[in-house]
Amino acid sequence: MVSSEGLCGSQPPIAAPVTQYGVTKPISMAVPTAADIQRSRDLEKFLVQAGLYESKEEASKREEVLGQIQEIVTNWVKQLTRLRGYTDQMVEDAKALIFTFGSYRLGVHGPGSDIDALCVGPSYVSREEDFFFVLHNILAEREEVTELQPVPDAHVPVMRFKFNGIPIDLLYASISHLVVPHDLDISNISVLYNVDEPTVRSLNGCRVADQILKLVPNVEHFCTTLRCLKFWAKRRGVYSNVTGFLGGVNWALLVARICQLYPNAAPSMLVSRFFRVFTQWRWPNPVMLCAIDEDRLGFSVWDPRKNPRDRTHHMPIITPAYPCMNSSYNVSTSTLRVMMEQFQYGNNVCEKIELNKAKWSALFDPYLFFQSYTNYLQVDILAADADDLRSWKGWVESRLRQLTLMIERDTYGKMQCHPYPQDYVDASKPCAHCAFFMGLQRKHGEIVQEGQQFDIRGSIDEFRHSINMYMFWKPGMEIYVSHVRRKQLPAYVYPDGCKRSRNLHLTPEQPSYNMSRNNGVAYQAESGEKCLKRKKDPDGEDSEQSRLDKRRSPDRNQSVSPEIISCKLGSTCTGCSTSDLDEMNRFAEVNTSSNSSGISSCSHEDIGNESTAGSSEGSNVGDDNPSSSQSDSSDDLKSSVEDDHADQNKVFQDGLLKDLEPKTVVGVVLKSMNGVVDSESVQNPVIRVTQGSQV
């Protein structure tokens, strides 16, 4: 029997066990200080002012919409049950259930956000026929439903639409029950019995969201931190799973892990620790919220020891629900590089905030993508109408990540790509279109020899073939890919519709020098272009204007942009006679004084063989009249775009080619020949590295 002396003796007290969230012990159990609490209040105030929280009216509208969709899918299942000859009792008991996941389920959605929803139905209701055909037709007849877009061939098949203006991403899962229980526990592993992998992926959206909320120590702090970091990722251009960055579930898993490592921290501390931890994270070490559940039902789980493909993942972020998968398999070496740079930026700003040297608004300054690179790929997408453009754009956007991987592979990682996850529209164009951009640069620290080439012709051609595989292609769906220099970027990519001054460091006392003009073509020296500028000077001397251009160069770390070396085209469009294909010496240049869109395109009349860059010979092809880009003809939907291309692809006169770096069309025009999709090969680039140059 223990005496009372033994209870209050001199023995040291036993420390209370530290609660462990996740696979490791916490880094710190520190509670927030008064300063941390105040910074958290300031952060939440900033998020409210930024409009990241929806109103009560919109929240009520979302609940009403979900209720209406629940009623629609229940009636849909009852109708199919009756048609398949089941008993009246079965028809009465038949139902489907709607579950939510994603930002709505996690409580971090904002105004205008979509609702990720899962419809769970009985075993005899299929996805391919019943969901994407019967239910699709039911929804198409509803006046509340707009912008209906089925995507049956996606990794996770989905039907997208708006219901009374609320965007919905609806998935379907058929479970092995004749009657779906009204109290179905979707977190229970039994729902995965006897289902296929697309169904598992559909179910796991909800299962992962539920697990995240169970594995974080403080849900409220988690939601505030996640809302903040999602907003930050969008402002810094790293929020997009489809283009190789991180999507909503990826950011949720990373934030949840930080919450586990700092269980008592306030949101301001969690944001700061997020950047501190992930700037030092040794990828590809995985981020996991819990131990990986071993294989139970035969589904593949993420395990680089067993699965060779898992060893190629650059930034593994593992889902916590069985079967555990890498949710960030889309990340490439280039997009990981971009994200690590942005993590470092966030870490630097947070350090200043903690020292009261900066405010929260500084963390969310937008990333100046179009001032960050010298070379870009521009991908223009055209369609017959807005509905066709929506589906066509979705397909092309899903393949842009492959283009990044192809370029990385074909240049052995020496050329880095930065696909920007935002599309841009030129409002002056009458046709339905948009454009994506990708920054290009030589890998930092890479030693290259003078004259070494980055040949991405094969990459572009492979990208063309992948685009041609679109099974829902319609006439009018076309794509143009072109290489553009920074000075040639179209004005519509800038927020105010006009290009910002290249001279970022001018003070009011410093003069702003005018651009020189050669033969009526505006030319402004690129930063770091002094090597080629002197070499290209017609008199062989360094002109006064050249010296002025060099003096006002804003970035001395940037070097010469690559030359674009043309090549003869190896193939032509099926159905086009060779007499229709002219010699192509049409190097594009953008007159910076005009308001033209800068869209690079190429009709079949002006596709041909291009002479080697540096040749002074040229042939006039097409109309050089600047007003031709303003055509409003309704006979050809894309006439304005093609005329604009004809305007921008003027043939350089003798000697002019020496002064201007060409803009070379490197893409493909999709055509319809007798109702069959075909394509024309278009000029592809070979990027040559000159002495001391940087791509």
| CA–CA gap between residue 341 and residue 361 (Å, rounded) | 19
Q: How far is CA 491 from CA 145, 175, 593, in A?
A: 35, 51, 10
Amino acid at 201: R
Rounded distance between C-alpha atoms, residue 293 and residue 472, angstroms: 39
CA dihedral for 226, 230, 235, 236, sign (positive or negative)? positive
Q: Is 269 helix (H, G, I), strand (E, B) or coil?
A: helix
**Token pair listed for 192:** 């995965």
For 554, counting Cβ atoms within 10 Å of its Cβ (0-12 exposed, 13-18 middle, 19+ buried), the class is: middle
| CA–centroid distance for 550 within its chain | 35
Give the helix/strand (H/E) hosting 274: helix 267-279
Distances, alpha carbon 312 to alpha carbons 4, 247, 340, 409, in Å: 62, 20, 18, 13
Query: Is 480 a residue of the active site?
Result: no
Is the bond leading into 284 cis (omega within 30 degrees of zero)? yes
Question: What are residue 522's phi and psi, to 5 degrees?
Answer: -70, 140
For 318-344, give the DSSP string: B-SSSSP-BTTTT--HHHHHHHHHHHH
Do 482 and 663 contact (CB within 8 A), yes or no? yes
Q: Alpha-carbon torsion 303, 309, 313, 319, what sign?
A: negative
CA distance 371 to 437: 13
Strand order in the sheet with 375-383: 415-419, 432-442, 375-383, 478-485
Any binding-site annotation on 249? yes
C-alpha count within 13 angstroms, C-beta hemisphere, residue 650: 21
Q: Write down the catalytic residue from 40, 103, 639, 681.
A: 103
Catalytic annotation present for 414: no
230 assigned ligand-binding residue? yes
Which residue of the set 36, 116, 461, 644 is catalytic?
Answer: 116
CA distance 566 to 587: 10
239 catalytic residue (yes or no)? yes
Q: Which of 628, 630, 586, 589 is nearest to 489 (CA)?
A: 589
Which tokens sit at 216?
């974080």
The letter for the amino acid at 418 is H
Residue 310 known to be catalytic: no
**Radius of gyration (C-alpha) of the chain in whole angstroms:** 29
Query: Residue 116, annotated ligand binder?
Result: yes
* Number of Cβ within a 10 Å radius of residue 300: 15
Asked if residue 410 belongs to a known ligand binding site, the reply is no
Q: Is 102 annotated as a binding residue?
A: yes
CA distance 253 to 317: 7
Q: Where would I find the H helices in 560-695?
A: 639-648
Active-site hit among 78, 95, 230, 487:
230
> What span, in angstroms and rounded, lies between the C-alpha atoms of 490 and 428?
12
- The Cα–Cα gap between 322 and 148 comes to 32
169 annotated ligand binder: yes
Annotated active-site residue 533? The verdict is no
Q: Is 189 annotated as a binding residue?
A: no
Catalytic residue among 172, 239, 262, 373: 239
Q: Is 357 annotated as a binding residue?
A: no
Euclidean distance between CA atoms 695 and 690, whole angstroms:
10
- Rounded CA gap, 239 and 246, in Å? 5
Ligand-binding annotation for 643, yes or no, is no
* Residue 317 marked ligand-binding: no
Question: Is 635 one of the catalytic residues?
Answer: no
Binding region for Mg(2+): 114, 116, 169
Q: Which residues does the annotation mark as catalytic?
A: 103, 114, 116, 169, 230, 239
Annotated binding site: 101-103, 114-116, 169, 230, 239, 248-249
Binding site feature residues for ATP:
101-103, 114-116, 169, 230, 239, 248-249
